[in-house]
Chain A
Amino acid sequence: MTKILQAEKSESQDIQKILHPLVKEWFFSKFKAFSQTQEYGVLNIWQRKDILISAPTGGTKTLTAFLSILNYLVIQAQEQTLENRVYAVYTSPLKALSNDIHKNLVEPLQEINELAKKKNIKLQEIRVALRTGDTTASEKAKMTKKVPHILITTPESLAIILTSKKFVESLKATEFLIVDEIHALDNKRGTYLSLTIERLNELSNLWPTKIGLSATIEPLEEAAKFLVGIDDKREIRIAKVPLDKKIDIDVLTPVDDLIEDENIYPSFYGLLESLIQAHKTTLIFTNTRSATERIVNTLKEKFPTEYGDDNISAHHSSLSKEHRFNVEENLRQGKLKVVVCSTSLELGIDIGYIDLVLMVGSPKSSARALQRMGRAGHKLHEVAKGRFIATDRDELVECCIIQKEMIEQKINKITFPKNCLDVLSQQIYGMAIYKIWDIDELFSTIRKSYCYSTLTKKDFLDIISYLSGEYDLEKNNVYDKIWYDKETRQIGKKGKMARVIYLTNLGTIPDESFVNVKLASTGEVIGHLDETFLERMKKRDVFVLGGKKYLYNYTKGMNVYVNSAEKLSPTIPSWISETLPLSFSSAMEIGEFRYSMNRQLTANKSKKEVIKFVMETLYVKETTAETIYNYFYEQHKFIGIPTKDTLLVERYKSDKKYLVFHSMYGRRVNDALSRALGFLVGEVEGRDVEIGINDNGFYIAGEKLNIEKAFNQLTKENIESILKEAIEKTDVLARRFRHCATRSLMILRNYKGQTRTVGKQQLKSHFLMHAVRKITEDFPILREAKREVLEDLMDIENAKKVLDWIKEGRVKMKIQETQLPSPFGSNLILQGQSDLIRIEDRQEFLKRIHQEHLKAIKEAMD
């Protein structure tokens, strides 16, 4: 197992001792002293110790990582011993960030060079180059001749370099590898990078010293192992630089009474306006693209003299690269008064002076909230000022809890997806292009990666079978990607096009595409919809977009024409959604708070006492505490407060029977629990069951609901197999399968110079899923798609934990009949995103609809 140590802090004079006079002089001409981050990092890196540095944003992480390396290169440059090879690789998941670092690295270098010139010291040229997806072929050719000493790149471009014929030679003596923004790699890009790092280790003649940089995250030990991989010989130091930046945070509401006051929206914009005007530059986070657009437009409309194109901008991932780049540049130059973004400005790049960060709605986790706050007062010692704005009562409680976690420095945990078979397929293909491997050597290299250290031999061999075309037993004319010779136990690439196919299809971020939604009457653009969402729509369906309801009319090209339909109720479940899930730990914290509130209220404490308790527990002002008190008091009087030890289930009847579960575990856990339960309930009747989920709970609706029986059937041992069956016919599995099939190169996004549209990819995946099921239900890529749904989209691990608590009696289920949904339950019924558990067979469905149809015809005739 990899050894983990705490990094030692070093004294300033010890760091100074190692610095070349030029570097030292340059440094102290810029800074008064070493920062804490540098005291932890610089000397360790100099001594070639692998290190993970976790520090709040606004720290001096990047320079810390580069200082020793620059120093090392300057020493060599003066001795005229710099070779034509890469000494250090810097990789970051953000393209824009790479540009930024380029600037921040080239500048110090220029300044050091100028200093050298003044002193008549002759330095060899130290070269820095940027290599991303945008780098031109001629630039690349230049790099092959004049190799950069420091290479700035993205994880994807690094993987490409490792399969290049020539350039890879220059990387065989890489001495340093910097991985920035590790906290943003808790997804398949991270999984991908963990294998890429192992590939670099494998081909290097020496061990590249690993330098990891991350914002405040937990657990640091896992992030450290992610960086160096798993091996007995490896060890890594962790430097956790404390947050000494002061934060000024509060939770605001547009009106005091979030239920009765009808002016909530006008007041909301009034509040935004007054906050923006009281500050120099404001950054607003809204969580979704549609909310971003809405806020920008409304501010412009309501305050035309204050906001125009010159001082307000939107920033989100659907906007063009140029647009985003301009916004960032204008921010840096201080031209903008306010920028509204979804989540897109959370990470990385220096965006200049921002004195207020507003978070509209809950940021859903404390780590994310801290990250956002870090964008204000980017310099280390400035006070970061942030405000949450909550517009409903659940949001208010959530924001207050997250604020509490921030103040008490409780950070939610991140996890990296493990043993992903689609990413593995792509990487093995890349590895086979690089050289011919012995199968055992290949397996052991892969197992050293943190994300694949528990990969089973079976999974590995299944992927080898898939790539070498063994799954198609009847015909051999299927496109194989590698060959595997069982005699010699060797593996290599197949086909002349291999490298081209790999280069043009590499990556883990799935293609998504959007269609415009326009009003049929005026042609006005209302917003965008995911293309896959459109596939499910037919005439007269009603759906919600940007908080408004629309009736689907027709599609023409990439435009969807709709009519406003405020009076109709939505018929299309909007399951495909960009909503962020609440972290499990924040959800548990809310459960904890509900528990203490329940004790306060059942102990018959006075209103004054309870409000005081809320103020102290959540660090909030009196009006906020009173709103929260009222909310909990209503629930207490109505049906009682669900707490961390009682799972309250409301049973009530309207058009059908509803069961409302107050399972305060976050959407990802609720998703898993509700689908498993819905499936068990539905199976008894052979009918489909409607479910709805949000972060605070879920509901199941249907005709007969025998929930006690279903709950007794569900255990932590069988939930996985039940869920796998329950998601079998869902759109979400089909969609994830498309992503996995694309990542594993079953579907090529780009082939022979043609790019496939998402719609075509989806059509193919539909066909493909049908085809692989014919071969085996156990096809590895289908297995991966299911794993992704269960582990990455849902949170099956914590769902198992919850089932265990119920079994042990730590959590007791309490079913209560109600006439109406309780205050805590009403948001769920109103806003919960619903889906259908498909149980009923296609043919059965056809027969039933036919019967209904005949009846309708008969009635019409009578």
Chain B
Amino acid sequence: MEDYILIDKTVFFPENGILAIGDLHVGYEHMLKQSGMNVPHTQTKDIINNFKGIFLKLKEKNYKIKKIVFLGDIKHFFGYEKKEKLALKEVYDFLRQSFSEQDIIFIKGNHDKFGYFGKKLKNYYVRNGIIFLHGNLKYEKVYEKPIKTVVMAHLHPSIILSDKKGVKKEKFKCFLIGNYEKKRFIVLPSFLEITDGIAVNDYREDYSKYSSIIPKEALMKFNVFVIGKDEIYEFGKLEKI
């Protein structure tokens, strides 16, 4: 029995009651609109509905969420954008209905520059041997002995699956879980619904561009967990797919 539960695109640690969320990229739609796209906006609503679903599922299993940790890249714009801030506020207000201010934790990603709602961004968050961080930068803390598990986002992993003949292909979001430097790593997919993410079985030669703390060779030995509509499917080692 594992000490974590993969639920939808998030991971939950029952012992600590911590729910970790991958890259949110609020404001992606505004980016599209800024580049002249005539699109209707549903992203904020989708995010909130997504949360409601996850909360309900955990409740049905009699788990209680105590803290919610955002693993960075909470918003999309590198700079400051008013509309984006409003959208983030909407998400935040929704969460505040169930959580106190200090139980919502924001970790700094490469897209995040300032704090949100008067809260400072943390480089990482540690609890009972688990470190939560974005995954683009290394911190000494990761290598300290009591740390057993590293929970990160940043890579937006997804996987292309094809049938035997290779004619049909579909892309799915996935988790990557494996060991590296004697620690267990859990890589979360992006929370943003509208993009599938970067296909890990197609990591191109320029992988280093994503400046991740896990080298490609190590990642290839990780196990793949594909996110289905109601279930998570284990697919074995990445290099074998």
Interface residues of A (CB under 8 A from B): 469, 471-472, 474-475, 477-479, 481, 501, 536, 538-539, 541, 554-556, 571, 573, 688, 690, 745-748, 751-752, 754, 756, 760, 763-764, 767-768, 770-772, 774-775, 836, 838, 840, 842-843, 845-850, 852-853, 857
Contact = CB atoms under 8 A, between A and B. Distances in A.
A467 to B, nearest CB: 9
8 contacts: A472-B40, A477-B83, A478-B33, A538-B201, A767-B32, A845-B170, A847-B233, A849-B161
Interface in B147-163: 160-163
Contact of A573 (B41, B167, B199): B167
B226 A475 contact: no
The 7 residue pairs across chains A and B that have the minimum distance between CB atoms: A751-B36, A748-B36, A571-B166, A472-B40, A850-B233, A479-B38, A746-B38
Nearest to A853: B235
B39 A836 contact: no
B170 A478 contact: no
Interface string B8-32: 0000000000000000000000001
A843 B229 contact: yes
A475 B202 contact: no
A50 B168 CA distance: 55
Contact of B39 (A478, A751, A845, A857): A478
Given A538-B199, A846-B228, A853-B236, A555 B38 contact: no
Contact of B167 (A747, A772, A836): A836
B201 A748 contact: no
Given A475-B41, A478-B41, A555-B204, A845 B36 contact: no
Contacts of A760: 35
B168 A688 contact: yes
Given A538-B160, A538-B201, A539-B202, A845 B37 contact: no
B36 A771 contact: no
Given A538-B160, A843-B228, A850-B233, A475 B37 contact: no
B166 A845 contact: no
B37 A746 contact: yes
A479 B33 contact: yes
A538 B162 contact: yes
Contact of A747 (B37, B40, B170): B37
Nearest to A772: B40
A328 B200 CA distance: 48
B42 A774 contact: yes
A571 B170 contact: no
B236 A857 contact: yes
A751 B35 contact: yes
A846 B229 CA distance: 10
A87 to B, nearest CB: 38
Given A471-B40, A845-B170, A556 B206 contact: yes
Contacts of B42: 771, 774
Nearest to B167: A836
B61 interface: no
B163 A571 contact: no
Interface of B: 32-33, 35-42, 83, 160-170, 172, 194-195, 199, 201-202, 204-206, 226, 228-229, 233, 235-236, 241
Nearest to A857: B236
A774 B40 contact: yes
A294 to B, nearest CB: 27
A849 B202 CA distance: 18
Given A539-B201, A752-B36, A842 B170 contact: yes
Contact of A748 (B37, B162, B202, B233): B37
A43 to B, nearest CB: 51
Given A539-B202, A746-B38, A771-B42, A846 B172 contact: yes
A688 B170 CA distance: 13
A810 B83 CA distance: 64
Contacts of B229: 843
Nearest to A835: B167
A774 B228 CA distance: 21
Contact of B36 (A538, A747, A857): A747
A764 B32 contact: yes
Contacts of B199: 538
A770 B40 contact: no
A770 B228 CA distance: 19
A842 B226 CA distance: 13
A413 B46 CA distance: 50
Contacts of A770: 194
Nearest to A752: B36
B74 to A, nearest CB: 20
Contacts of A774: 40, 42
Contacts of A763: 195
- From A573, A756, A760, A843, name the one whose CB has the most chain B CB atoms within 10 angstroms: A843
Contacts of A748: 35-37
B238 to A, nearest CB: 12
Given A556-B206, A747-B38, A752-B36, 8 more contacts: A479-B33, A538-B160, A554-B205, A747-B37, A748-B37, A764-B32, A771-B39, A847-B228
A57 to B, nearest CB: 42
B165 A571 contact: yes
B77 to A, nearest CB: 16
B154 to A, nearest CB: 20
A474 B40 contact: yes
B228 to A, nearest CB: 5
Nearest to B35: A751
B202 A852 contact: no
Contacts of B168: 688, 836, 838, 840, 845
Contacts of A475: 40-41
A739 to B, nearest CB: 15
Nearest to A744: B38
Contacts of A471: 40
Nearest to B235: A853
B105 to A, nearest CB: 30
A745 B166 contact: no
A577 B194 CA distance: 29
Nearest to B224: A853
A477 B38 CA distance: 10
B36 A850 contact: no
Contacts of B37: 479, 746-748, 764, 768
Nearest to B46: A774
Contacts of A481: 38
A468 B162 CA distance: 42
Nearest to A763: B195
Nearest to B172: A846
Nearest to A860: B240
A771 B161 CA distance: 25
B143 to A, nearest CB: 32
A745 B39 CA distance: 11
Nearest to B202: A538
Nearest to B28: A767
Contacts of B40: 471-472, 474-475, 478, 771-772, 774-775
A670 to B, nearest CB: 20
A771 B43 CA distance: 10
B46 to A, nearest CB: 9
B197 to A, nearest CB: 13
Nearest to B160: A538
- From B38, B165, B167, B201, name the one whose CB has the most chain A CB atoms within 10 angstroms: B38
B194 A849 contact: no
Contacts of A538: 160, 162, 169, 199, 201-202
Nearest to A479: B38
A591 B182 CA distance: 72
Contacts of A768: 37, 39
A771 B205 CA distance: 33
Contacts of B36: 479, 501, 747-748, 751-752
A554 B205 CA distance: 7
Given A555-B204, A748-B36, A850 B160 contact: no
